Structure 1
Amino acid sequence: MGYQLSRRALADAFKSWSGTYDVYAPTVFAGTGRFSETDVIRYGKVTDPADIVWDARSDYSFKEILIPVCQVLFYFTEHSVQESEFPKKGAIIFLRSCDLHAVKRLDYMFLQNGPEDYYYKTLRDKVKFVVMGCDHTFDGCFCVSMGTNVSTNYDAAVNFKDGMYYVDCPDEILAAALKNHAEGTCDVTADHVEKDDVEVHIPDNLTSAIAKSSIWDEYDKRCIKCGRCTLACPTCTCWSMQDIFYTENGKAGERRRVQTSCMFDDYTLVAGGGCFRQKAGERMRFKVLHKVLDFKKRAGFQMCVGCGRCDAICPEYISLTHCINEKLPQGMKEVLENGQ
């Protein structure tokens, strides 16, 4: 059984949840876009369903809620260490089906790929996910090709039509508030896309030998190594540690975990000033093969979820979908002809 709610009724449900949870959803941040006086759609706290953007894909993903761009892990002095405080409330995150599939990738990286990450798990255990139904595809999306267009393991799912919200809610805690404020009941199935305008076909014969192909040289001239693609990606999880000292003697300060990227200069910097993969093409190769080859070998499923954000945000119009569909087959043909 699902629930039918008006904007005001769902806002009342938000208020009922607010004692325990903050609600995060894609919303417009006016005047903070990439260009002067342009807007950006990213995740923020919302108290009114009217503030949630339904008719466009967010420029950035939900992942900053689970893995903040800059997260203080602990504070230290000469004689003591004190853990930083976590948010007192849990989080309810409104997200698309592809992004919910991205959570599976984050869970693998932080909870299954070695010892559990304490900081991620502490936040993860306090989160509930609400799928936003997609009744149409967005420009550059290829979730159908990646098998991420349908999700069923949600806490709730919402379709927004003609000013009304239709909610399926398996989670009992969330359902209690919805039941109190609903204006009717109905059967609800989360909307999902069955065909995208863009299709992606990962070559069946793709192997690591493609790393020796010349296809990557093109990106030396085009990519500016800004890292926007990886910061917008919901499945990129790389980070670095930074110690910030409060005093000159270096005995008091804080340790931070800061998001970084394989596209940045300092990502492979080692002692002595050595830096691996200095060329942009080498970094593009590392990123692409991790998304569609290396990760699957270890985890059993593709890392990329087909959200299309990387293509949309790149200032040089570099397309991951074009790389997969055109460059990878070309590269495999080249290495096979060369006997590599």
Structure 2
Amino acid sequence: MGYKVSFEEANKIFAALQDEYEIWAPKRFVGKGRYSDTDMIKYDKINTVEEIEYMDKSDFPAKEVLSPITESLFYFTEDEYIESKATGKKLLIFMRPCDIHAQHHQEKIYLSNGGFEDMYYKRMNEKVKIVMMECTTGWDTCFCVSMGTNKSEDYSMAVRFGEGELSLDVKDGAFAPYFEGKNESGFKPEYVEKNQLTVEVPEIPNKEVLTKLKNHPMWNEYNKRCISCGACTVACSTCTCFTTTDIIYNENANVGERKRTTASCQVKGFSDMAGGMSFRNTAGDRMRFKVLHKFHDYKERFQDYHMCVGCGRCIDRCPEYISIAATVKKMANAIDEIVAEENK
């Protein structure tokens, strides 16, 4: 059922929803950007429509609601441990279509990865209801159409932001009572059909080509360009890597908490192992690992889609202006070169 409500009416609905839900959406933090006099847009709890940043793309993805950059897992003493508490409310999250697809990719990693379920992710994921934010134009770093993530039907509500009003498509019957007596409309969300940026993901025909691609000199370029800061993976809507740390409260080493913190395969030392073993020691090696994971390995494992959803945040956040789209194009050229050489 479609509805049209003013911001004032929407804020009253939000107030009623907050008895049962935490409402999360992209929010602008003025002056908090990484450069002087710039803003940062990231997910945060909101109370009113006016707090939602819908004109610009968020710097960081919706995944932070379910898997924050840092979170406590459990608290311990020498005798026992106590699991950290999750919010008691349900989660109503405003997402664009690409972030909805990204959530499904994360679910595969956290909830169906070789039969293992991450209990901390699961307890949050089970609470989620999605409000899909209509996205009809995208930005100059988006390539969601190329990745097939520009559309989604997986939402409880969809919303279009107008001048002082919201148009909504309410699919989930649990939300229908909040709109009783409101103006009905025939609203259905529209989607971006063409991005400024396009990406054609190459197919890797066999293991021999894959092996040669891993050793191709194209990756050496990133030994000079990439500074291994990890900004791309922190901003990525599908990355799931983390590390764990025990925080000791005092001189008693048996009292403290275990935290997990977002980690990055692009940072030197990420693959260090006990005994001094280390892998992917150059920036080019780490870039190769990330790109092949996003555009080959994940799909090869789960037999469905590539991991990247084309949100373009990694391009936006890279201080060295490295474009994942341009990198995939270079990878495609390298594959063509390898195949041509094999066919001689």
TM-score (ref. length: structure 1): 0.95
* Offset, 1:264: 1.4
Which region of structure 1 is more displaced relative to structure 2, 34-43 or 302-311? 34-43
The corresponding residue for 1:208 is 210
Cα RMSD (Å) of the superposition? 1.5
CA distance, structure 2, for counterparts of residue 315 and residue 338 of structure 1: 36
Q: How many residues align?
A: 337
* 2:244 alignment partner, one of 235, 241, 246: 241
Partner of 2:311: 307
Q: What is the CA deviation profile of residues 203-230 of structure 1, one whole-angstrom value per residue up to 9, with x for unaligned ones?
A: 1346523111110000000000111110
Give, in angstroms, the shift of residue 338 of structure 1.
5.3
Say if 1:273 and 1:338 are closer, same or farther in 2 by CA, change over 3 A: farther
How far apart, CA to CA, are the structure 2 residues paired with 1:31 and 1:208?
A: 45
The CA distance in 2 between the partners of 1:179 and 1:232, in whole Å, is 39
CA separation in 1, counterparts of 2:295 and 2:128?
28
Deviation at 1:201, TM superposition (A): 0.2
Query: 283-292 vs 35-44, which deviates more?
Result: 35-44
Q: Which residue of 2 aligns with 1:287?
A: 290
**Aligned residues with identical type, % of pairs:** 42
1:118-145 deviation digits (Å, cap 9, x = unpaired): 1111001111111000121212111111
Q: Is the 8 Å Cα contact of residues 212 and 335 (structure 1) preserved in structure 2?
A: no
* Residue matched to 2:322: 318
- Contact 1:97/1:151 (8 A) holds in 2: yes
Give distance in 2, aligned partners of 1:271 and 1:24: 40
How far apart are the structure 2 equivalents of 1:322 and 1:97?
23
Q: After the TM superposition, which residues 146-157 of structure 1 pair with which residues of structure 2 at under 5 Å, given as runs?
A: 146-157=147-158
Which position in structure 2 is the counterpart of 1:38?
38
Once the two structures are TM-superposed, the CA of residue 269 in structure 1 deviates from its matched residue by 1.4
Alpha-carbon separation, structure 2, partners of 1:100 and 1:324:
23
Write the distance in 2 (CA, Å) between the matches of 1:241 and 1:272: 19
Write out aligned runs for 1:146-185 (5 A): 146-179=147-180, 182=182, 184-185=183-184
Q: Which whole-Å CA distance do the structure 1 matches of 2:126 and 2:252 have between them?
A: 38
Paired amino acid for 1:288: V
Q: Is there any run of 5+ residues in structure 2 with no aligned partner, and where? A: none
Q: Could you tell me how far 1:335 is from its partner in structure 2?
A: 3.1
Displacement, 1:330? 2.2
C-alpha deviation, 1:337, in angstroms: 5.1
Q: Match for 2:38: what amino acid?
A: T
1:3-37: CA deviations, max 9, x gaps? Answer: 11110111111101101111111110111111123
Which amino acid in structure 2 is aligned with residue 263 of structure 1? Q
